[in-house]
Chains A and B, each alone.
Chain A
Amino acid sequence: MADAIRIENLKKSFRLGFIPKTREILKGISLSVQEGEIFGYLGPNGAGKTTTIKCLLGLIFPDAGTIEIFGRPHLSPRARQALGFLPENPYFYDYLTAAEFLAFYADLFGLGRKEKEERIARLLKLVGLERAASLRLRKFSRGMLQRVGLAQALINDPKLVILDEPLGGMDPLGRKEIRDIIVRFRDEGKTVFFTSHILQDIEMICDHVAIIVGGRIVKQGALQDLVSEKVLFTELTVSGVGPEAFRGLGEGVSVRGDRVFLRIAEEGRVADVLALVHEKGGRVLSLSPRTETLEDIFVETVTGK
């Protein structure tokens, strides 16, 4: 099975400014995205995420390297036919209604009238905008625009969906809805390549991730391989026992009312603390072991700490 995306040694530099100065944005990116997976592309601002996507879409021409989509050169019409894209902070023709907007994009794929109408109705339902079909985009909220943008990315029923910051600027409910839609794509056999700053979301839904810093991929792989299940520390909240009882057992001890918050670095000491609480007649209100997160890895990779 061919990779959905295969990028080899991609390089791109721009000459910017009044006195043009060459700035190398991508310094030899190589990555592959397998068919049917959700791939998270992470990196701090200015790392080269959007530039990679623009190269992938043929909006900018790389200086060197090869890009293949389903085994075909990325600029070939058949590769484009299999692709859907939602840009970051999308602006669309705001004088069109949602249905007119989707009809325009459907025309770019030469869909027949019946197929077009069916697909528009299905997509508006998928993104929860069926009631806003005849509303002009000017009146859409940011979340609604993001959803109609997602619908336009799917108008050709693509095998590969590329989403640039699809969760940016959305409220928690909106984020959850978009996340659910992305997971549904995978269930339908589609491949999703997306960038995000919201690491918890990536951690929740991605199969593979790549981290790009300064135009280079510094880490990539399956999420479960990158994030170890080792417990970093355990957080414990107890009541009915004074903080002085825990001296020497917990690292961070803080008190709020009759509640004592403990942070225990050594996993083996958790049992000792629990025994102590039991012995003193106190109550354990919460206990949560904290394993390594993608955020830890991201911060460590980006800052080198």
Chain B
Amino acid sequence: MKIWAIAGITFKEAKRDRILYLLFFFAAVAILASRVLAVLTVGDRVKIIKDVGLASISIFGVLMAVLIGTSLVYKEIDKKTIFTLLAKPLRRGEFILGKFLGLVLTIFVMTAGMSLIFLAIVYLHTFRIEWPMLVAIAYIFLELVLVTAVAILFSSFSTPILSSIFSLAFYLIGHLSWGLEALIKKMRPGAGRTAARALYTFLPDLENFNFRTEVVHGLPIPAGIYLASFLYGVCYTAFILGLAILVFRRRDFI
């Protein structure tokens, strides 16, 4: 109940943020512009539209999660509304979970909005609803949920600007870390390989949520991969939220 109360107020506050609508506007423009790109490109126009559209949903979704996620917890601390909240029988962990759920709801609504525009554009070209696109979008959403948790973790002890930089760095590292996996395969067994393996285990691999190429090109995906990616997302998010709660529980609100 308390967590839902915090989630509700977070959603109300987030949906008032103009940055959210600005990003939504640019996302819509990017999705619509994919049609122009398709006209200018040689090849399958629909594939270009799908590729650019899904990439737009992912990038603008991440920007929304980072910018809103890093400012909302900080704002509560900066404006001291947290004083009256934590004076109530509300655990600090409940506060963090409430904030997280409110932000996830916001990101869900925004992703749904962007997806509707995207699916409508695709429909105009194919005259059918492309259901497999929803799979790619669902995993983009899972990735956004993880990025939201990361944004909350950083904002629980840092300023919005630093938290945004850290969260975007997490996103970039997450999309480049697969290179490390390729490197591990080519390394000889030994200390270096063990160290590289440990680093890869610790670093996020957000490519686990990227099913865009497979969906756009109609490539088959084994069911096990879906499940593994889903579990990876849920466990990593739970780990990051646990860390955020640990940090938040120990800090003083001066």
- Interface band, chain B: 20 to 34
Q: State the majority secondary structure of interface residues on B.
A: helix
A120 to B127, CA, bound (A): 54
A292 close to B (CB within 8 Å): no
Tell yes or no: B40 within 8 A of A by CB: no
The answer on a CB contact under 8 Å between B83 and A104 is no
In whole angstroms, what is the CA distance A91 to B83 when docked?
A: 10
A108 x B90 contact (CB < 8 A): yes
Q: A105 at the A/B interface (Cβ < 8 Å)?
A: yes
- What's the Cα separation between A105 and B88 when bound, in Å? 9
Inside 8 A of B9's CB, which chain A residues have their CB? 93, 104
In the complex with contacts A59-B252, A60-B252, A77-B89 CB distance below 8 A: yes
Are B81 and A93 touching (Cβ within 8 A)? yes
Stretch at the interface among A81-89, A260-268, A279-287: A81-89
Known: A87-B80, A95-B16. A107 touches B5 (CB 8 A): yes
Q: Which residues of A contact B80 (CB under 8 A)?
A: 87, 89-91
Residues of B within 8 A of A54 (CB): 83, 252-254
B121-137 vs A, CB cutoff 8 Å, 1 = contact: the mask equals: 00000000000000000
Residues of chain B with a CB closer than 8 A to A162's CB: 87
Q: Tell yes or no: B18 within 8 A of A by CB.
A: no
Q: A96 — which chain B residues lie within 8 A by C-beta? A: 12
Number of interface residues of A (CB under 8 A): 32
Name the residue among B4, B9, B12, B79 with the largest chain A CB count within 10 angstroms.
Answer: B9
**Is B41 an interface residue when CB atoms closer than 8 A count as contact?**
no
Q: B2: nearest residue on chain A (CB-CB)?
A: A108
Tell me if A110 is interfacial: C-beta within 8 Å of chain B.
yes
Contacts of A14 in B (CB 8 A): 252, 254
User: Given A91-B79, A107-B1, A110-B2, A58 and B84 touching (CB < 8 A)?
Assistant: no
Residues of chain A contacted by B187 (CB below 8 angstroms): none
Q: Which residue of B lies closest to A91 (CB)?
A: B79
A-B contact count (CB 8 A): 76
Give a binary string over B7-36; 1 marks a CB under 8 Å from any A CB, 0 the rest. 011001100100000000000000000000
Q: How far is the CA of A104 from the CA of B11 in the complex (A)?
A: 13
Within 8 A of A (CB), among B81-114: 81-90
Whole-angstrom distance from the CB of B98 to the nearest CB of chain A? 10
Q: Nearest CB to that of A57 among chain B residues?
A: B87
- The chain A residue with its CB closest to the CB of B82 is A59
| B56 nearest CB across to chain A (Å) | 30
**Bound CA–CA A152/B9 (angstroms):** 15
Which residues 96-118 in A have Cβ within 8 Å of B in the complex? 96, 104-105, 107-110
CB closest residue in chain B, given A95 = B16
Residue of A nearest to B15 (CB): A95
Which of B1, B12, B79, B84 lies at the interface centre, i.e. has the most chain A CB atoms within 10 A of its CB? B84
Chain B: which residue is nearest A51 at the CB level?
B254
8 more A-B residue pairs beyond the given contacts A54-B252, A90-B84, with a C-beta to C-beta distance below 8 A = A14-B252, A14-B254, A91-B80, A93-B13, A95-B12, A108-B88, A153-B84, A156-B88
Pairs A–B under 8 Å by Cβ, sample size 14: A57-B87, A60-B253, A60-B254, A61-B252, A89-B80, A92-B84, A93-B9, A96-B12, A105-B88, A107-B1, A107-B5, A108-B85, A108-B89, A108-B90
Closest 10 CB pairs of A and B: A107-B5, A60-B252, A85-B87, A80-B89, A59-B253, A57-B87, A91-B79, A108-B88, A87-B83, A77-B89
